[in-house]
């Protein structure tokens, strides 16, 4: 089978799995193309993918196209992909990287080899808010580069980023309650919570770029 769906809540991990498979096929690095889409995949995006897939390999006998889908694909777009997945060019391996394979139509899934890497997150986002409390304590000491790196790491998975924000907001609220007697500190935490809530709202309700939204948040905390 030439087409793979790799499902992982950590999209970087999914891309790494694709790269491992590509290495097994000994595909030259000049014959690897990565297409990344921040918004939901539509008809125009599928047409662009088709053009790239049917290009001949540059150096070797085979090429690989990695398609990173940060949002879901519309039903129309998936239906448009069906013929491509039924008859992919023999020289091309196709990798669809998603955070949730269940967003694909059954007809799409039946034409691909599914590799499910589970629901592992880059950051701990369970009920334990210790990590998030540490983030709040160390926030003032983080340099600009460290803040940008944090935004980059968390933004690899939009749903994970939203959950991470929720846990950090919860930790900040608990910290604010502990500091009610220190009005100045409580006010700082309230302002911080408000900024995080605004970013959380944007990520949940709009197509804002996850990484840019988090960079803007962290640089202004």
Percent of the chain predicted with pLDDT > 70:
93
Which tops the pLDDT comparison, 130 or 161? Answer: 161
Residue 10 has pLDDT above 50, yes or no: yes
**Per-residue model confidence (pLDDT) at position 21:** 92
Task: Report d(CA 125, CA 127) in Å as an integer.
Answer: 7
Tokens of 29: 């690095």
**Per-residue model confidence (pLDDT) at position 130:** 60
Residue-wise pLDDT for 12-26, tens only, equals: 889 999 999 999 999
Residue-wise pLDDT for 112-156, tens only, equals: 899 988 644 333 334 445 667 777 777 777 888 888 888 888 888
Give the class (CATH, top level) of 3-116: alpha beta
**Per-residue model confidence (pLDDT) at position 120:** 43
For the chain, give the mean pLDDT.
85
Residue-wise pLDDT for 44-74, tens only, equals: 989 888 888 888 898 888 999 999 998 888 8
**Per-residue model confidence (pLDDT) at position 176:** 86
Domain spans of the chain, in order of start: 3-116, 130-219
């Amino acid at each position: 089978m030439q087409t793979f769906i790799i499902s992982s809540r950590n999209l970087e991990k999914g891309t790494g799995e694709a790269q491992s498979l590509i290495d097994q096929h000994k595909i030259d690095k000049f014959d690897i193309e990565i297409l990344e889409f921040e918004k939901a995949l539509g008809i125009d995006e599928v047409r662009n993918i088709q053009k790239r897939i049917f290009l001949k390999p540059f150096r070797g006998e085979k090429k690989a196209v990695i398609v990173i889908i940060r949002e879901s694909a519309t039903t129309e777009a998936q239906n448009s992909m069906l013929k491509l997945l039924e008859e992919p060019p023999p020289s091309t391996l196709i990798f669809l990287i998603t955070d949730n394979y269940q967003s694909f139509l059954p007809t799409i899934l039946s034409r691909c080899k599914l590799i499910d890497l589970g629901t592992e997150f880059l950051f701990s986002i369970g009920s334990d808010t210790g990590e998030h409390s540490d983030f709040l304590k160390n926030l003032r000491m983080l340099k600009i580069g460290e803040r940008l790196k944090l935004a980059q790491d968390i933004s690899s998975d939009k749903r994970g980023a939203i959950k991470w924000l929720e846990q950090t907001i919860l930790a900040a609220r608990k910290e604010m309650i502990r500091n009610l007697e220190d009005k100045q500190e409580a006010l700082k935490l309230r302002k911080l919570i408000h900024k995080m809530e605004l970013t959380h709202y944007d990520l949940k309700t709009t197509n804002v770029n996850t990484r840019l939204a988090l960079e803007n948040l962290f640089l202004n905390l």
